C-alpha cells in the first residue's frame, strides 16, 4: 500500500474531528439553498435550480463516500466519517426527489408515474434512491449487530449499483452532452473500479 506524505497529518486531524462537524458542514449547502430561495436569487427558473443543486450535491457526497475505501489504499483513513457522508448523500438525494415530485410535478401522481416510465433517466434515478433506502436504514450500530458484519457488507455492495445509477441518471438528464456529467461518471467509474480490484486482490490473497 502506498502512503501519501501528508496522510498522517490528515489522519490525526480526522481522529480529532467529531462526527457532528461533518453533519454541520454537510448541511451548509442546504442552508444556503433555503436562503437563496427566500431571497429569490436562483434565477428565472428557481424550481429547476433547486432540483439541480440538490441532485448535484447528492452526487458529490456519493463520490466522497465512494472515495473512502480508495483513500485508505494510500494511507488516508476517513472511515470514521463514512457513515455521515453516506447519510448526507441520502439526505440530498431524497430532497432532490422530493423537490421533483413536490415542486416540479406538484404532487400530480398520474404525471409522476407516467414520467417514471417515459423518461428513463428519472426511472434510473428513482431506482438509485430505492437502493439507497436499505443502506440508510442499516447504517446504525444496532442494525449492523442485527444483520451481522458479513450480511452488512453484502448488503452494502448495493453502493456499486447506486453509484452507477447516479452516474447514468446525470448523463441522461442533460439534453446537450457536456464535459461535467462525463467527468462525474468517469470519477464514479474509476472509484468503483478501484474498489472492485482491491476486493478481488483481497479474495485472491485469502485463498
Q: What's the rounded mean pLDDT across residues 101-123?
A: 92
CA distances (Å), origin 74, targets 61, 77, 88: 20, 9, 24
Read off the pLDDT band of 7 (50, 70, 90). Answer: confident
**Number of Cβ atoms within 10 Å of the Cβ of 106:** 10
Q: What is the pLDDT of residues 173-202, one digit of tens each?
A: 887 778 899 999 999 999 999 888 766 666
Q: Which three cell numbers stand for residue 134?
A: 436499505
2 has pLDDT over 60: no
Q: How far apart are CA 99 and CA 47, in angstroms?
A: 8
Q: What's the rounded mean pLDDT across residues 118-124?
A: 92
C-alpha atoms less than 13 angstroms from C-alpha of 22 in its C-beta half-sphere: 22
Asked if 22 contacts 71 with a C-beta cutoff of 8 angstroms, the reply is no
**Predicted local distance difference test score (pLDDT) of residue 197:** 78
Asked if 166 contacts 60 with a C-beta cutoff of 8 angstroms, the reply is no
Read off the pLDDT band of 205 (50, 70, 90). Answer: low
Q: Where are the domains of the chain?
A: 7-206
Q: What's the rounded mean pLDDT across residues 104-123?
A: 92
Amino acid at each position: 500500500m502506498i502512503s501519501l506524505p501528508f496522510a498522517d497529518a490528515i489522519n490525526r486531524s480526522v481522529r480529532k474531528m467529531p462526527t457532528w462537524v461533518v453533519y454541520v458542514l454537510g448541511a451548509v449547502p442546504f442552508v444556503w439553498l433555503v436562503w437563496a430561495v427566500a431571497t429569490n436569487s436562483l434565477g428565472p427558473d428557481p424550481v429547476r435550480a433547486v432540483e439541480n443543486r440538490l441532485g448535484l450535491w447528492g452526487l458529490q457526497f456519493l463520490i466522497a463516500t465512494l472515495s473512502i475505501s480508495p483513500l485508505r489504499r494510500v494511507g488516508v483513513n476517513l472511515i470514521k466519517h463514512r457513515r455521515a457522508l453516506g447519510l448526507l448523500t441520502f439526505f440530498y438525494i431524497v430532497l432532490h426527489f422530493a423537490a421533483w415530485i413536490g415542486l416540479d410535478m406538484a404532487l400530480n401522481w398520474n404525471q409522476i408515474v407516467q414520467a417514471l416510465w417515459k423518461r428513463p433517466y428519472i426511472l434510473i434515478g428513482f431506482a438509485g434512491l430505492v437502493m439507497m433506502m436499505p443502506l440508510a436504514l442499516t447504517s446504525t450500530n444496532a442494525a449492523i449487530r442485527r444483520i451481522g458484519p458479513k450480511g452488512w457488507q453484502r448488503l452494502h455492495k448495493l453502493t456499486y449499483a447506486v453509484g452507477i445509477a447516479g452516474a447514468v441518471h446525470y448523463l441522461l438528464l442533460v439534453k446537450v452532452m457536456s464535459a461535467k456529467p462525463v467527468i462525474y461518471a468517469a470519477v464514479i467509474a474509476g472509484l468503483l473500479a478501484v474498489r472492485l480490484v482491491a476486493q478481488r486482490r483481497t479474495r485472491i490473497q485469502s485463498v
